[in-house]
Chains A and B, each alone.
Chain A
Amino acid sequence: MVLVEGKNISFSYDFDDSSFALQGVDIAIEQGEFVVILGCNGSGKSTLVKHFNALLRLQHGELRVAQIDVKNEEEIWLLRRLCGMVFQNPDNQFVSSVVEEDIAFGLENYETPRREIPERVQSALALVEMGGYEKRAPNTLSGGQKQRVALAGVLALEPEIIIFDEATAMLDPGGRQEVAKIMRKLHRAGKTIIAITHYVEEAVAADKVILMAQGRVLASGSPKAILTDLDLMKEAGMLLPLPVRLYYDLRQAGVHLNHCPLTDEELVEEICQLRSKS
Chain B
Amino acid sequence: MKTLPTGQYIPGDSFLHQLEARAKISCLFLLIAAVLGASSFWGYALVLATISTLLLLSGLPIRGAVAPVRRISWFLLIILLMNALFFEGEAVLASWGIFHLSRGGIEQGFRVVGNLVLILILGNLLTMTTLPTQVTTALESLIKPLKLIGVPTEEVAIIISVAIQFIPTLLEETELIKMTQIARGARFESKKLSERAASFLPLVVPIFISSFRRAEELSLAMEARGYRKARNRTKPKKAPLAPADYTALIVCALICLIQLLWRG
User: Which residues of A line the B interface, CB within 8 A?
Assistant: 50, 53, 55, 77, 80-81, 84-85, 87, 89, 91-98, 101, 105-114, 117, 137-140, 150, 153-154, 157
- Residues of A near B164 (CB, < 8 A) are 97
A111 engages B232 (CB within 8 Å): yes
Interface hits, B1-31 → A, CB 8 Å: 1
A111 engages B218 (CB within 8 Å): no
| B204 proximal to A (CB < 8 A) | no
The docked-state distance in angstroms from the alpha carbon of A96 to that of B233 is: 16
- Residues of A near B218 (CB, < 8 A) are 92-93, 95
A97 engages B225 (CB within 8 Å): no
B234 engages A98 (CB within 8 Å): no
A106 engages B226 (CB within 8 Å): yes
With most chain A CB atoms within 10 A of its CB, the pick from B164, B172, B221, B228 is B221
Option from A80, A114, A150 in Cβ contact (under 8 Å) with B226: A80
The docked-state distance in angstroms from the alpha carbon of A117 to that of B233 is: 13
A98 engages B131 (CB within 8 Å): yes
Option from B220, B221, B226, B228 in Cβ contact (under 8 Å) with A157: B226
- Nearest CB in chain A: distance from B9 CB, A: 10
| B169 proximal to A (CB < 8 A) | yes
- Residues of B near A138 (CB, < 8 A) are 165
- Residues of B near A91 (CB, < 8 A) are 169, 214
Number of A-B residue pairs having CB atoms within 8 Å of each other in the complex:
88
| B161 proximal to A (CB < 8 A) | yes
- Residues of B near A112 (CB, < 8 A) are 234
User: Which residues of B line the A interface, CB within 8 A?
Assistant: 1, 131-133, 158, 161-162, 164-165, 168-169, 172, 214, 217-218, 220-228, 231-235, 237
- Residues of A near B226 (CB, < 8 A) are 77, 80-81, 106, 109-110, 157
B221 engages A109 (CB within 8 Å): no
Supposing A95-B165, A97-B164, A140-B1 touch, asked if A153 and B225 sit within 8 A by C-beta, the answer is yes
Supposing A109-B233, A114-B235 touch, asked if A157 and B225 sit within 8 A by C-beta, the answer is yes
- Residues of B near A109 (CB, < 8 A) are 225-228, 231, 233
Interface of B is mostly: helix
27 A-B contacts (beta carbon < 8 Å): A53-B224, A77-B226, A80-B224, A84-B224, A85-B221, A89-B214, A91-B214, A95-B218, A96-B162, A96-B165, A98-B131, A105-B225, A105-B227, A106-B225, A106-B226, A108-B233, A109-B225, A109-B226, A111-B232, A111-B233, A112-B234, A114-B235, A114-B237, A137-B168, A139-B1, A139-B168, A139-B172
Closest B residue by C-beta to A97? B165
Closest B residue by C-beta to A135? B131
With most chain B CB atoms within 10 A of its CB, the pick from A84, A89, A138 is A89
The docked-state distance in angstroms from the alpha carbon of A87 to that of B222 is: 11
- Residues of B near A113 (CB, < 8 A) are 234
3 cross-chain pairs, A with B, having the tightest CB-CB distances, nearest first: A93-B221, A109-B226, A106-B225
- Residues of A near B234 (CB, < 8 A) are 107-108, 111-114, 117
- Nearest CB in chain B: distance from A95 CB, A: 5
B169 engages A139 (CB within 8 Å): yes
- Residues of A near B231 (CB, < 8 A) are 109
B133 engages A96 (CB within 8 Å): yes
